[in-house]
Structure 1
Amino acid sequence: MNLDEGLQAFVTEAGELLAEMEAGLLHLGDPAAREEAVNAIFRAAHTIKGTAGLFALDYIVLFTHAVESVLEEVRNGALPLEPELVALLLDCADQIAAMVRDVERGGHGDFGDRCGPQLAALHAYLAPAPGLADLLPERVLAAAPEEGRWLVSLEFGRDVFRQGMDPAAFIAYLGRLGRIVALATVADGLPPPEHMDPLSCYLGFELVLETAAGAEEISKVFEFLHDECTLRLLPPGSRAEDYQQLANTLPLHAAALAQVLQAAGLGTVAPPPQPAATPVAPAADVADGAAPALLAPAAGPAPARGAESRTIRVDAERLGQLINLVGELITASARTQMLASRFKDAALQDSSSVLGELVEQVRDSALQLRMVKIGATFNRFQRVVHDVAREIGKDIRLVLSGEEVELDKTMVERIGEPLTHLVRNAIDHGIEAAGLRRQRGKPAQGTVSLNAYHDSGSIVIEVGDDGGGLQRERIHACAVERGLLDPEHKPADSELFALVFEPGFSTAAQVTSLSGRGVGMDVVKRHIEALRGSIAIDSAAGLGTTVRVRLPLTLAIMDCMLVTVGASRFAIPLGTIEECVEYEQDGARGFVDLRGEALPTVPLRALFRLPGSAPRRESVLVVRHAGQRAGLVVDSLQGQCQAVIKPLSPVFSGIACLSGSTVLGSGDVALILDVPALLKQLQARPAGNLAA
């Protein structure tokens, strides 16, 4: 894992959020948009604080938490939005931006003196107002220790590569704490070449680091490795006996240890009393004191020959332009095939058919370029679960499955923030304290799971926990108190659990730096719906909760079945279609007999109030989504087509059963049906008749 890339992602995201924050502060003068602006500012500060916590940027977390607390008072109406307060918040946004720029430059976050006046001004709006020493950690306020040379001894586990970790990246990141004076590699227990596993790590390192950092800061560099690294540190001023004891403990590291100590001017060590195992370097080299070879601090492992030619980095904007052009090519190819069929020229029809097949292959290849495995996104949450669980004092493990499932890169990038909120909520709200879990007969260690799988042309991502489940009575009481439910109404579980996605809805007893402010779940739902997805909650008291997110595989192109209803044409995603049967109008209104099963039907003519009468023979397309089935009654089937998805005009935003449109080869426009939304409405209608 490259820590520099993670920090760069934080810097980029924080810059965007700060721009939103500043824009919201500048629009507070508009009374009509004030409430949404305050919510947007609060969400930006909340997200910056949460992400900064993942990288242990405590000074950003604490400062932003103070800003967030003042904004909470504004949201609750306890503080008026006076010009002085707006000016202070703008100043604080500038201060957070300065902190982020310091992170980008590799600074150490020495903001104690500069943040003092702003923190005092923020806490003047709150009661009681703690002092600066109560807000910043002791290691930020304390003076840095005297600079010296640390001996760092590293042994990496065999599975470090399988965990997606790069030892060289951690050593390079260690160099940010100071200067690596000497570095030597050790191939610990290197087997014969024929027995080597290319996925196993056999490396160890001995290095001398000149830094003013302490043992805690040095050890934090390797937190990502968890159990895949053994770290030993000897501080500046250590005795010769300490170095010799380390050499005796690690006989295979003795030669490397002697080499780096001599290069750094810290002395040397004698060979250990016990002869070491198979030496890493030839005996002649050891006798000459040349093994293992010293590496320059900035040098990394030499890449294999030809490795650079196997991959190429492409700007995402260029890739998006390629997808758009492929979409236009599909439309042009469809028109060419239609014209060839009209002129009935055999050679032209054959040529257009070959062209259509090639275009389809180009489409599949172009879309495959944007498909990435979701496992990389899932793995990010290992650190999230580790840090958040430690923060709140819980023992929690993360279980991942379905990492091989592929999803459009655009979807992966935009699903990260909603998943973060869901995982943090599972840890904080879902998993009980260890004592309570023991009382309930559960293991003290809680489990949070992330799972992904394909279902009916969609990808399903599940965030689950084995906690206490949602508290139905508490949610109901909170909803009644806020006026979201009538006290006499007895909602179903699905209806009640959906209320947690309402803005500001929270059942937390107290506000912490992790949750309790009623922010997050409404943002999750908004992000999911913006991706043409849906979200639902299943929960069982005492057993746990599962949040299920359904997303389309791509936002660009999909295979559809083209149907006609009167003079209108509709495209139905092929992944949702199970079969097609002839429509028989005998039986109950709104249902059809499908091999002894009463299947609810939706006549598209009645649903969209299209003119004209139905033909004598109609067809029923059986569609499925999330375990629910229905039959769509259409006039005729026109065959399969590739739909290049175009967004609908805002005029059609109120029609829930449409997800977009596509241009056909004839130049006509076909509307793309939103099958999940259609089935959801069908389920809510009496007697299952959506057209009624």
Structure 2
Amino acid sequence: MTMPDPVEVFRTEAAELLEQIEQGLLDLEHQLDDASLIDAVFRGLHTLKGSGAMFGFDALASFTHHCETAFDRVRKGMAPATPELVHAVLAARDHMRSLVEQPDQEDDETGQRLLTQLQQAVADGGGAPEETAESAPEANSGAPAEAETVSAAPAAEPVTWRIRMTLPENAMANGTNPLALLDELRDLGDCEISVDTGNVPPLYRIEPSELHLSWNVRLTTDKPRDDIEDVFIFVMDDMELSIEQEEPGGAPAQATPAEPQSADPEPIAAAEPAAVAEPAPQASAQSPAQAPAEASAPAVNAPVQETRQKRAAENVRVPAERLDELMDRVGELVIAKSRLSQIAGNSIDVQLRSVSEDVERLASELRDTMMVLRMVPVATLFGRFRRLIHDLGRETSKQIELVTEGEATEVDKTVIERLADPLVHLVRNSVDHGLELPGDRAAAGKGEAGRVTLSARQSGGEVIISIKDDGRGIDRDRVRAKAEASGLVSPGQQLTDQEVMQLIFAPGFSTANAITNLSGRGVGMDVVKKTVEALRGTIDIESTLGKGSEISLRIPLTLAIIDGLLVRVGSGRYVIPLSAVEECLELSSEDDVRSEGRSFISLRNSLVPFLRLRELLSTGTEPDPYQKIVVVSTGVERVGLVVDQIIGDHQTVIKSMSKLHNDVATFSGATILGDGSVALILDVGHLVAAGQQQEAQLRKAG
């Protein structure tokens, strides 16, 4: 089994830290006096700096140190939090991400510019940090020194502190370097450090990757207690830590093991690795000198620590490609299960049928479990747009409020990944074309701040993601005129309202008067349409001139395995996604003949158009005496599909079509049946659109 690359592990964790920092900054922009948000951003920067230095990302650690220093000043009340500071650190955060991805980049011009912007932001808020890029601490020592700040206040009198630290057994396996923590303590002042080996097990029980040592530190410093706690800021939740101020004339805190050590407990330097190499015999009793240090730890620490370790064990980081591979194996199992079910159905062997039923049940449960593993909340997608809205507001001089709804709605991770770019285009389009400038909104009787709402909800086997704005809406006459000028439609050509709306997704179409950084090239909405169609989804548009627009993407919950309805048309078998099926009706030969030329059925006082798949697929066969109509819908619109036989439900493993069939819009994929034959999966969205178009033509002709 190959071990994960530590550098790649750090990059993954750094990406999470950078995301947390960005979200914290965006929250802070609206609550500049929130101390908890300031502390959260500081902790994220502090952790990123220390971890970066530990893994050899020296440029990242050095650059991050300056942002940490700025927030340290804010945290200690030496400078206020301002929008300019938030914007400067957001820009710096982007550079940190670049340093994570390319740690050896030599061009530091961007970094110097960002540091100048950061210093100016702090200066405008009440005083700049006195350090510059040249005076940043060296990051080669495993963990950079704690951020130093310069204050005009007189130096405080030195105080002696007694510190006892015990890290969890898995600390080093998780990347924590205890010597780096001791180095940071030593940098705060004069300290004496002793190691306690009383909990080291016998040699035959020692695991090299586990930590069984504790340290006692006597630190004399003029720094406040907060600076000592900051040393442990990103490991404090998982360790035993005691910090006590020594009374004047008090005895120094020393670590005395439970049993006499083979070596004298001389104070050791934090950077001496040899001091922790020799374990002592296992403890059998507690010496009086050790009691005060241990008494300062909370009595409930042991069960709390056990709970934390248990909670940590409940979450496992798994690479996405392994989930994809597992999904492929589950898909093959589902196909094999279908084959077994078909063989068992044709057999009189009772035991074979029993085994087949067990395998079918287990395969279904495994499929459902796998589906849950692949599902992620859309909050992971929506969270990215807070930064985009922040940047767009500054770029367009518009006041924008972002509202998110239904963030707990879960979608397949592949869908989330592929929807990211289309949603970026839609949000940018709403801001640029939809929302007005504050003055224009005020003149129209609206609030100066425009609102963009991202929402998600589940409907059957689909998730509906909507982007709504309260802007100027879509001018249909302008869209029509632009389309005619571009040659997309002929002058006088009859178009429905939805057809006019769909023109904005045509390649090269744009209503912008000039090309800007946001729009004007006519490629963004075309990308949206192609991506959504590739996901077997559809796009709905609603807009009211002067009030705003809403674009809804209807996307399948998963792209891997679906429940389908297996039908026969002629001699071929096809699959209809079960989530789109509303009901099934019988169509006799008399009704079939009677409906020739109009293709409508009356369904509970409403007319529903239907398509004869036998004609659409050109089977060249005669219809069965009693055909069936499968009524399908995409949420609003409905259409009936005439088939010869409904075979039954079928767990469908979706296989993509070949490149030669990319332009065949009737099918969205294929699947393998139990007998090894191939069945094509019908694209319900395309068929519904075709049915509605047929209905419009018939109504127009009538």
TM-score (norm 2): 0.62
2:645 corresponds to which of 636, 645, 648: 636
Q: CA, structure 1 residues 3+448, in 2 after alignment: closer, same or farther (shift >3 Å)?
A: farther
> In the alignment, which residue of structure 2 is the partner of 1:603?
612
> In the alignment, which residue of structure 1 is the partner of 2:693?
684
Q: Which deviates more, 458-467 or 171-180?
A: 171-180
Q: Deviations over 1:172-203 (max 9, x none)?
A: 457653648999x99xxxxxxxxxxxxxxxxx
Question: What is the Cα deviation at residue 349 of structure 1?
Answer: 0.9
Provide the C-alpha distance between the structure 1 equivalents of 2:570 and 2:480, rounded to a whole number of angstroms: 47
Provide the C-alpha distance between the structure 1 equivalents of 2:630 and 2:381, rounded to a whole number of angstroms: 36
> In the alignment, which residue of structure 2 is the partner of 1:520?
524
Question: What is the Cα deviation at residue 340 of structure 1?
Answer: 1.3
Report 1:276-675 matches (<5 A): 291-292=225-226, 294-295=228-229, 300-301=234-235, 302-303=237-238, 304-584=308-588, 585-586=590-591, 587-589=594-596, 590-675=599-684
Q: Deviations over 1:306-333 (max 9, x none)?
A: 3432222222222211111111111111
User: Secondary structure at the residue paired with 1:221?
Assistant: helix
Q: Please tell me whether the aligned partners of residues 671 and 679 of structure 2 are also in contact (alpha carbons under 8 angstroms).
A: yes
Q: Please tell me whether the aligned partners of residues 42 and 68 of structure 2 are also in contact (alpha carbons under 8 angstroms).
A: no
Question: What is the Cα deviation at residue 416 of structure 1?
Answer: 0.6
Question: What is the Cα deviation at residue 628 of structure 1?
Answer: 0.9
Question: What is the Cα deviation at residue 674 of structure 1?
Answer: 0.6
Structure 1: stretches of 5+ with no match in the other structure = 12-52, 57-153, 187-203, 226-230, 245-259, 266-284
Tell whether 2:152 aligns with 1:240: yes
**Aligned residue pairs, count:** 488
Report 1:1-80 matches (<5 A): none
Q: Deviations over 1:489-548 (max 9, x none)?
A: 353332222222223322222332222233311122222222222223221100111111
2:88 corresponds to which of 196, 202, 220: 220
Q: Please tell me whether the aligned partners of residues 582 and 620 of structure 1 are also in contact (alpha carbons under 8 angstroms).
A: yes
Q: CA, structure 1 residues 341+286, in 2 after alignment: closer, same or farther (shift >3 Å)?
A: same
Q: Deviations over 1:449-486 (max 9, x none)?
A: 11111224211111110000112232222222222222
Question: What is the Cα deviation at residue 345 of structure 1?
Answer: 1.7
Provide the C-alpha distance between the structure 2 equivalents of 1:453 and 1:218, rounded to a whole number of angstroms: 33
Q: CA, structure 1 residues 179+617, in 2 after alignment: closer, same or farther (shift >3 Å)?
A: closer
User: Secondary structure at the residue paired with 1:322?
Assistant: helix
Q: Deviations over 1:221-268 (max 9, x none)?
A: 27999xxxxx98643566635999xxxxxxxxxxxxxxx9x9879xxx
Provide the C-alpha distance between the structure 2 equivalents of 1:457 and 1:333, rounded to a whole number of angstroms: 23
Q: Please tell me whether the aligned partners of residues 456 and 575 of structure 1 are also in contact (alpha carbons under 8 angstroms).
A: yes
Q: Please tell me whether the aligned partners of residues 182 and 297 of structure 1 are also in contact (alpha carbons under 8 angstroms).
A: no
Q: Which deviates more, 289-298 or 545-554?
A: 289-298
Structure of higher CA gyration radius? 2
Q: Please tell me whether the aligned partners of residues 601 and 689 of structure 1 are also in contact (alpha carbons under 8 angstroms).
A: no
Provide the C-alpha distance between the structure 2 equivalents of 1:610 and 1:409, rounded to a whole number of angstroms: 38
User: Secondary structure at the residue paired with 1:329?
Assistant: helix
Q: Please tell me whether the aligned partners of residues 654 and 670 of structure 2 are also in contact (alpha carbons under 8 angstroms).
A: yes
Provide the C-alpha distance between the structure 1 equivalents of 2:607 and 2:617, rounded to a whole number of angstroms: 23
Q: Deviations over 1:45-65 (max 9, x none)?
A: xxxxxxxx99x9xxxxxxxxx
Provide the C-alpha distance between the structure 2 equivalents of 1:172 and 1:686, rounded to a whole number of angstroms: 62
Q: CA, structure 1 residues 176+504, in 2 after alignment: closer, same or farther (shift >3 Å)?
A: farther
Q: Please tell me whether the aligned partners of residues 46 and 68 of structure 2 are also in contact (alpha carbons under 8 angstroms).
A: no
Report 1:145-164 matches (<5 A): 156-157=34-35
Question: What is the Cα deviation at residue 3 of structure 1?
Answer: 13
Provide the C-alpha distance between the structure 1 equivalents of 2:686 and 2:463, rounded to a whole number of angstroms: 16
Matched to 1:168, the amino acid is R
User: Secondary structure at the residue paired with 1:294?
Assistant: helix
Matched to 1:616, the amino acid is P
Q: CA, structure 1 residues 224+615, in 2 after alignment: closer, same or farther (shift >3 Å)?
A: farther
Provide the C-alpha distance between the structure 2 equivalents of 1:327 and 1:640, rounded to a whole number of angstroms: 16
Matched to 2:691, the amino acid is L
Provide the C-alpha distance between the structure 2 equivalents of 1:397 and 1:327, rounded to a whole number of angstroms: 43
> In the alignment, which residue of structure 1 is the partner of 2:100?
none
Provide the C-alpha distance between the structure 2 equivalents of 1:410 and 1:524, rounded to a whole number of angstroms: 16
> In the alignment, which residue of structure 2 is the partner of 1:177?
63
User: Secondary structure at the residue paired with 2:430?
Assistant: helix
Provide the C-alpha distance between the structure 2 equivalents of 1:647 and 1:414, rounded to a whole number of angstroms: 16
Provide the C-alpha distance between the structure 2 equivalents of 1:347 and 1:264, rounded to a whole number of angstroms: 75
Q: CA, structure 1 residues 289+456, in 2 after alignment: closer, same or farther (shift >3 Å)?
A: closer
Q: Please tell me whether the aligned partners of residues 430 and 466 of structure 1 are also in contact (alpha carbons under 8 angstroms).
A: yes
TM-score (norm 1): 0.63
> In the alignment, which residue of structure 1 is the partner of 2:301?
none
